[in-house]
Amino acid sequence: MQSTTLDDRIDDLSHDLRSPLAVAEGYLACLLDGECGDLNGEQRDVVGTALEGLRRLQAFIDEGLEEARSGTREADMVEEDVVPVVQDVMEMFRLMASRRGVTLTGRIETPVARVLMDQARMRRVLTNLVSNALKYTPAGGTVSVSLAARAGRASVFVADTGCGIPAEALDGLCQRFARAPQGRGEGPQAPGTGLGLAIVKEILEEHGGDLWVDSHVGAGSTFAFALPLCAGSVEVLA
């Protein structure tokens, strides 16, 4: 019997994912085009957000497959404004937050914050942080995302009113497969692989950025990162 290598499994998984994703994309596009009846404005926004997320997932699968085959990935670093990226990721999670009974708020303190970034990978950073915040925040809680441009850096803060992380677990939080205990240990642990924060840290290091966390059991957590600003940004005085 022929053994299956890791590369073979990645190829198989990528192939198997493409078909259902293509079917889902087709049906969502059909809805958005009005082929199944007219949608109101809110419905169009929901379907459009879902369709955009699906297309980004397809691109991410293709990118990951190519990276696995070549063993390397060339970052597509371009000087861009990070403000629209933050706004887009917040919009992507707005419906999820509403369905969970969590208030998702945002505060953008500068109109322009230009940084040198790979936009797709920066979206992964923000998606991981906002997704984690929502995962660990119970109904009735709040997740807030803010961005400020000060002292030559664009700083993004993702704060939640969730269970918090014990102090002794913070040091190893960004290690691969690390899973921090949830607050006081109440209830089952939220599902996850323990890879999200490791990926976040790796991407930020590629961008010359920093990641830090402030967390208190029972009061919530704030994950924040900062990137060097480029010319053309609008800094806000503290």
Separation of alpha carbons 162 and 143, rounded Å: 9
164-199 core/surface letters (b: 16 or more CB in 10 A; e: else): bbbeeeeeebbeeeeebebbeeeeeeeeeeeebbbb
Q: Are 164 and 218 in contact (CB under 8 A)?
A: yes
First to last CA, the chain: 66
The whole-model pTM stands at: 0.76
* Whole-number pLDDT of residue 65: 65
Sign of CA dihedral 86, 129, 133, 59: positive
- Other C-beta atoms closer than 10 Å to the C-beta of 69 total 12
* Whole-number pLDDT of residue 129: 94
> Under 8 Å CB-to-CB from 108, ≥6 apart: which residues?
83, 86, 87, 146, 147
* Whole-number pLDDT of residue 188: 45
* Whole-number pLDDT of residue 103: 97
Output the tens digit of pLDDT for each of the chain's 238 residues: 455 565 666 666 666 777 677 778 788 888 888 888 888 988 888 888 888 877 877 777 776 666 666 555 566 899 999 999 999 999 889 888 998 999 999 999 999 999 999 998 999 899 999 998 999 999 999 999 999 999 999 999 999 999 888 888 777 676 654 556 554 444 445 544 456 788 889 999 999 999 999 999 989 999 999 999 998 778 876 5
* Whole-number pLDDT of residue 54: 79
Q: Are 104 and 86 in contact (CB under 8 A)?
A: no
